[in-house]
């Protein structure tokens, strides 16, 4: 980044950091939570009103509709992640951030006005309906296993299937539904549809308690029964759904890295403060090598995460789809941040496993982060296949 763009981004990031630290951090102890510990809609709305009043709603999307570059977005989303509630308050949270990005890239002008605009304004949450129940052999890390179907009936598509771990489905107003059309000959047959929520044909069966709880609405299991969607609400072209999913998922993986880097920077700050204040065996904890070295390792991992994110963001900014690069970033950053969060808990001892600070919560959230948007092992497998393809090509 350089010139006016860098100055603009630095100013936005500084405003976001001040807002999160001064306004949102106090909400971390707010008791308004749902059955699995996520903030209630009332609490979300209250925080978003404050973000709106501060002129910081959806700060990575500019007032003229333009989008910050991925490198610029990295800095802003990192600052929004300084609190587990920061990204939610500022509308930079998953799945909305990724869904907004996809709609901005693929959606028609009519779709942008009807579905994207209220999302950018922070007045509508969204959900991405792709993953399916594992016990039924449905799509997970392998989207080609998708069993949800869609068929054309006049000027409507009729969709049937079940989805699982659909983040934010409960309470969402906009849905992006993926299904396969057997009769579509080109592409993979996968299609995407935009739908208004709630819809009686989309029934939430169950919202499980999960290790993470920062996302309103949880991760629902959903039944889709004869959902009728106007043909005009197909997102993009029939059969290109998996391609569009990659347009969404590559930057979305990186956005997760950006936000959780911010959270772990804050955890490191908390653990550092604790280690400098807490006395044991005649000196401050940080003066014991076992503790001081853990904090030093944190510093190294945090810097490596920052550099990996910046590198991958640069690839995406160059116009590349960046699937391999985002896989590398997802693996490296999620694993490194897991180490950071774990060390913070360890440094703080008993205090680290309580809800007295956000450290325990971020530890749980990072553990989930290692799975969603593709677990480490799947990304490594994908990279190994790329290595083999590149080798074979080099032999020709």
**Which tokens hold the place of 286?**
């940080």
Q: Which residue has the tokens 């990304």?
A: 379
125 alpha carbon, distance to own chain's centre: 13
Query: Confidence class of residue 325 from pLDDT cuts 50, 70 and 90?
Result: very high
Three-state DSSP state, 107: coil
For residue range 43-79, what is the model confidence (pLDDT) as tens digits? Answer: 999 999 999 999 999 999 987 778 899 999 999 999 9
We find that the CATH architecture of domain 3-73+88-123 is: Orthogonal Bundle (1.10)
Could you give the CA distance from residue 333 to residue 304 in angstroms, rounded to a whole number?
Answer: 8
For residue range 246-295, what is the model confidence (pLDDT) as tens digits? Answer: 888 888 999 999 999 999 999 999 999 999 999 999 999 999 999 999 99
Query: Confidence class of residue 156 from pLDDT cuts 50, 70 and 90?
Result: very high
Nearest to 357 by CA among 261, 296, 273, 256: 273
What is the reported pLDDT for 369? 92
Q: Which fold has domain 127-238?
A: Butyryl-CoA Dehydrogenase, subunit A; domain 2 (2.40.110)
Q: Hey, how many other C-beta atoms are within 10 angstroms of the C-beta on 296?
A: 13
What is the reported pLDDT for 1? 59
Average pLDDT over residues 16-31: 97
Q: Which residue has the higher pLDDT, 104 or 185?
A: 104
CA of 215: how far to CAs of 147, 167, 181, 210, in Å?
26, 7, 31, 11
**Residue percentage of the chain with pLDDT more than 70:** 98
Domain extents for the chain?
3-73+88-123, 127-238, 242-387
Nearest to 278 by CA among 190, 192, 355, 349: 349
What is the reported pLDDT for 297? 98
**Residue percentage of the chain with pLDDT more than 90:** 83
Domain 242-387 class in CATH: mainly alpha
What is the reported pLDDT for 64? 78
Q: Would you say the pTM of this structure is higher than 0.75? A: yes
What is the reported pLDDT for 295? 98
Strands 156-167 and 202-206, bridge-based pairing: unpaired
Query: Confidence class of residue 186 from pLDDT cuts 50, 70 and 90?
Result: low
What is the reported pLDDT for 256? 94
Nearest to 89 by CA among 126, 123, 45: 45
Average pLDDT over residues 225-240: 95
Mean pLDDT, rounded, of the chain: 94
């Amino acid at each position: 980044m350089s010139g006016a763009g860098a100055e603009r981004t630095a100013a936005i990031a500084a405003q976001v950091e001040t807002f999160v630290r001064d306004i949102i951090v106090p909400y971390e102890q707010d008791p308004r939570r749902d059955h699995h510990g996520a903030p209630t809609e009332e609490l979300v709305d209250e925080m978003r009103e404050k973000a709106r009043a501060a002129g910081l709603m959806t700060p990575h999307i500019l007032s003229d509709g333009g989008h910050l570059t991925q490198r610029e977005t990295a800095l802003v989303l990192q600052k929004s992640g300084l609190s587990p509630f920061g990204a939610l308050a500022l509308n930079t949270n998953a799945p909305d951030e990724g869904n907004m990005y996809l709609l901005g890239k693929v959606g028609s002008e009519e779709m942008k006005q009807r579905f994207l605009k209220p999302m950018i304004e922070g007045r509508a949450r969204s959900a991405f309906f792709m993953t399916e129940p594992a016990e039924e052999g449905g799509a997970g890390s392998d989207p080609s296993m998708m069993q949800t179907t869609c068929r054309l009936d006049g000027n409507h598509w009729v969709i049937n299937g079940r989805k699982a771990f659909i983040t934010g489905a409960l309470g969402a107003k906009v849905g992006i539904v993926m299904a396969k059309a057997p009769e579509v000959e080109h592409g993979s047959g996968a299609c995407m549809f935009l739908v208004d929520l709630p819809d009686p044909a989309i029934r939430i069966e169950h919202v499980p308690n999960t290790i993470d709880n920062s996302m309103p609405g949880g991760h629902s299991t959903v039944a889709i029964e004869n959902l009728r969607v106007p043909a005009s609400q197909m997102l993009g072209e029939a059969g290109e759904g998996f391609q569009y999913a990659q347009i969404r998922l590559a930057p979305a993986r990186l956005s997760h890295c950006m936000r959780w880097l911010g959270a772990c920077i804050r955890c490191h700050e908390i653990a550092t403060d604790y280690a400098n204040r807490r006395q044991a065996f005649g000196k401050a904890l940080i003066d014991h090598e076992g503790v001081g070295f853990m904090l030093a390792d944190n510093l190294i991992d945090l810097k490596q995460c920052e550099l990996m994110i910046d590198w991958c963001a640069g690839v995406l900014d160059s116009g590349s789809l960046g699937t391999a690069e985002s896989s590398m970033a997802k693996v490296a950053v999620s694993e490194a941040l897991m180490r950071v969060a774990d060390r913070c808990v360890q440094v703080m001892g008993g205090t680290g496993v309580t809800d007295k600070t956000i450290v325990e919560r971020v530890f749980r959230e990072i553990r989930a982060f290692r799975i969603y948007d593709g677990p480490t092992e799947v990304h490594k497998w994908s990279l190994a296949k790329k290595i083999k393809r590149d080798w074979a090509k080099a032999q020709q």
